[in-house]
Amino acid sequence: MDINASIKYVAKGYIDNLNISNFMFATYTGGGIKVDNKPKAVDMTFVIIPQHLTDYDLKVEINGAEQTIKVKNKLEVGDRLIVGQATGAQKYFILDRV
């Protein structure tokens, strides 16, 4: 193998191992997410959940009066998700339900 081929081989291996950000489908299991085509579920300690997929309080103004309402939108077991994988595959982030 010549030097150019060796450099290309090493560079390709390096890039393949980076696990650059990637989007995929997953299912919420209650304690984590099961990413399609991956053998094991990912524990929720490695998953970032956006506020809009949780139960949260929201301040609104109705007829000039400020009120707080409870938005109930937390993930339910079996929800199908679109998730992103952070560079290096250390963290996943949920974009939304699908």
pTM: 0.72
What tokens were used for 22? 């990637």
The beta strand positions in the chain, using DSSP E, are 22-28, 32-35, 42-43, 47-48, 56-62, 65-71, 80-85, 92-97
Tens of pLDDT, residue by residue over 26-63, are: 999 999 999 998 899 999 999 999 999 999 999 999 99
In terms of Cβ atoms closer than 10 Å to its own Cβ (0-12, 13-18, 19+), residue 25 is middle
Question: DSSP 3-state assignment of 59?
Answer: strand
Q: Where are the domains of the chain?
A: 20-97
Strands 80-85 and 92-97: antiparallel
